Structure formats: C-alpha cells, structure tokens
Amino acid sequence: MPISTEQLAKAGVVGAGGAGFPTHVKLSAKADTVVINAAECEPLLHKDQELILHYGDRLVEGLRRAMEAVGAKRGIVGIKRKYDKVIAHLQKLLLPGMEIGPLDDVYPAGDEFILVYQTLGRVIAPGAIPITVGVVVLNVETACNVAVADRTPVIEKYVSIAGAVQNPCTVCVPIGAPLSVCLEAAGGANIDDPAYVVGGAMMGFLTADLSMPVSKTTGGLIVLPKDHFIVQRKSWDWEKAARVGRAACDQCSKCTELCPRYLLGHPIEPAKTMRSLGFNLSMEANTAGSQFCSECNLCSYCSCPEGLDPRRVNAQNKQRIFKEGKRWTNPPFDPERAERLMSFRKTPTARLMQRICLTQFVNKGPLLEARPNVSSVEILLKQNVGAAAVPVVKIGDHVRAGDPVAVRPVVDGKTALGVDHHASIDGIITAISDRGIRIDRQ
C-alpha cells in the first residue's frame, strides 16, 4: 500500500538534514524525479554514509515510497564519487528507475540547489524551490524514516560526533536525549575546556549547554578548542562583523566569484552586500540580493582573503528585508551562468578543511552498535518548519516509546503546518513547558 501524507505527518517525519520541513507536504506534490541528498558535504560528518552502509535497504524503500507518492519515474541518490565503498553497496540494492548521481567532493554539494543542478542540470530560480523544476529532494535519514513511517514514528536520531573527541563516531540516540549523551558515546573530549558546535562546522552553531536536547534536525556535535578558527568566527557578534567589514573590505569580489548561488545565476553578490555596511537602504540593488543567500558560510570562512564575514551581513540584511515586509519579486536571473562558470569555480572539500583548520582531526565516524542508555529526554514542541506542536499529555502520565505526546495545532478550523511528536523512551511525564515535554524513564 502506498504511504499517505497523513501517515507521514502523524509519524512526525520532517527533513532530518536541514530546517526540518514537514515531509508530508513535500510528498503531496507531483514531480518527475526524487533526489536523495547523500552529499553530506559538511566536513567531519558521516552519519548519512553510515546509514547507507547499515540500512541501505531502508533508504531504497523510502526512495521507492517517495517516488510512488509524487508519481516520479526516476530516483537519484546524489553521493560523492569518493565514497566508492558506499556506492558499490548501494548499487546492488537499487530498484528499476533508480540510479547513483555521482558528485564531486566539493562544498556545498549538499545545498539542494547545487545538488539538483549537479544531478539533473536543472537550475532552480532564485526564491523558488526544487518542485518548481519537477524535483523533490529528501535527506538520507528522512528517506529512511519515510520507509517505516506506517509502522514506526520518528523517535530516534543519528548524530555524528567529531573533532577533539576520544573516538569520533556516529551514534543513534532517542530524540530529546541531551547532547552530553552523544559526547559520552564518543568517549568524551580529549582536550581541556572545549567548545561545542551543534551541526556542521560551516553552518552549525556554538553552544555551551550540553543539556540541550537532540531534535529531529540535529546532525552533528563537533568538539573544538576555544581558540580554533571556527569557534572564533562563530563567536563574532553583529557589531564586530559590521565594524571590521566596513573598515577592511577592499571589494576584491572573491566572495561573489566563488558564491555557489551566484554561480547558479542568482542575483546575489556578497561583495556588493558588503557595500551596504557603509551606505544604502534595504531593497536597493546591493542589499536586496541578500534574500537569496543560502548562508553556507563559504564566503566568510574560505573565500574572503581578509577574513571578513559577508554571510553574516547577508543574514542581517535578510532579516531587515523580511521585517520590513519587502521582497524582491521577479529578480534578474542568468541560468546560463552555471554552465559558463560552475565547473571552474568549485571549492574542493580538502582545500576547505585546510582553510578552516580541520585537517588535524580524524575524518571518520563509524556507527556504534551499542545505543546509549538514556534516563530522561525532553521532546521539543517545535522541531520543524511551521507551528509548534500542542501537548496531548499531562504531568504524571505514563507513556511508551512511540506514543504521541504533542500534535499539530488546529488554527481557524485548519490543521497548521507541522507534524506530531512522540515519546522516545518508556517513562512518565515529569514536566511540560512552552519549550518541551520531559519524560523520565522508570
């Protein structure tokens, strides 16, 4: 039986590799191709490759179901050529209509705009989404969740733990488990007074709170010294980024010439964005293009020879544009630019890792067979794009793993955009807040 979009929503399936867009909405469209994003282009993260090696059959079933849901005749797994062992394993499992889409080892190959271009040669217009070119993109872990959504809700998460740890690895933990459990699974930090990056080194964020619960979109935990380049750059506040950028930008334009979205023909030019630090208001030409920034951080961490932060300037401008209720509609678009320039201006991952000082760390993350014993979890009410879920339990209730604990709200008689969330361990509800629901194991 085909899986229904309602089953996906009730099972709590969202994009596991990014913003957490509800998967049932994606699969309610019609497309000719489903692309699995197995690029995993963030340095040091390996969970998607480990999932394919250990659960490749589940990935293929999820891809089959997704293709069936949207009416696609073609399924592509976009994966880097260098993962030859993973490709050889997966190739044996693919069904008719499915194929491998080999990718170069560059950053950001996992950006879905870049992925769609590299696998299909289709350019998504600025401000648009993959379905506008007939494509649905799913992350590896998302597809695995689709495969079992009619039997098992999303209650587990795979997380890579990397950097300055005793044993870099990938671990499966209950959703809502504290980040400290992930760190313990890797043997703990092997340095004193470390800093922690949640997500990838490029697009993740700093935290000092290892009690933070793992969500459906948590993909990695990277441990770094506090004086590391990545930590220092992520520690910049807006005032410092603006002050240094205003004083030091010499308009060399390298940030623009290597910007992945610019190379696709989008009207984003980070060098012009930097000019907005000194003058111009939002929605003038050099600022309006900020709304098309993917915030991949390539310009800030790799391209700029002065070590400035164009990504943060773009992000600040985006916030200002949206706050003012303005949007650049029908922007100029040069889709032929990708064919002219993209192949000559890719950023190799090896070069990127040197640039951001990650070559000293072990670049492996084997999946641990043993799963950590977790005594309590906090199920966040908002783990995805859309509305926060509404609790359907009360303090003192006993729950079993897989029981619904929060559901999509109904607003003006309509179910809001979102998904349901579930208990990830057996236990008792001990706290409910605006943030989440705490479950203690009994």
108 pLDDT higher than 90: yes
Q: Cβ(20)–Cβ(29) under 8 Å?
A: no
pLDDT tens sequence across 342-356: 989 999 999 999 999
Confidence band, pLDDT 50/70/90 cuts, at residue 285? low
pLDDT at residue 282 greater than cutoff 80: no
Q: What is the mean pLDDT of residues 406-410?
A: 95
- Cβ neighbours of 6 (radius 10 Å): 11
- Contact by Cβ (8 Å): 182, 161: yes
Tens of pLDDT, residues 363-396:
999 999 999 999 999 999 999 999 999 999 999 9
pLDDT at 411 over 90: no
- What is residue 275's predicted lDDT score, i.e. its pLDDT? 87
* DSSP one-letter code for 178: B
Identify which has the larger pLDDT, 425 or 317.
Answer: 425
Q: What is the pLDDT of residue 430?
A: 98
Tell me the two tokens of residue 219: 């993909």
Predicted confidence (pLDDT) at residue 196 exceeds the cutoff of 80: yes
Helices within 235-387 (DSSP H only): 238-248, 254-257, 260-263, 270-275, 285-288, 298, 310-323, 337-341, 349-355
pTM of the full structure: 0.95
Split at pLDDT 50, 70, 90, the class of 320 is: confident
Q: Which of 401, 404, 433 is nearest to 418 (CA)?
A: 404
Q: How far apart are CA 395 and CA 429, in angstroms?
A: 5
- Average pLDDT score, the chain: 94
CA dihedral angle for residue 170, residue 171, residue 177, residue 181, rounded to 10 degrees: -80
The confidence band for 325, taking pLDDT boundaries of 50, 70 and 90, is confident
Mean pLDDT of 296-317: 94
Question: Is the per-residue pLDDT at 269 higher than 70?
Answer: yes
Q: In this predicted model, what pLDDT tens digit does every residue of 159-187 receive, in sequence order?
A: 999 999 999 999 999 999 999 999 999 99
Higher-confidence residue: 242 or 171?
Answer: 171
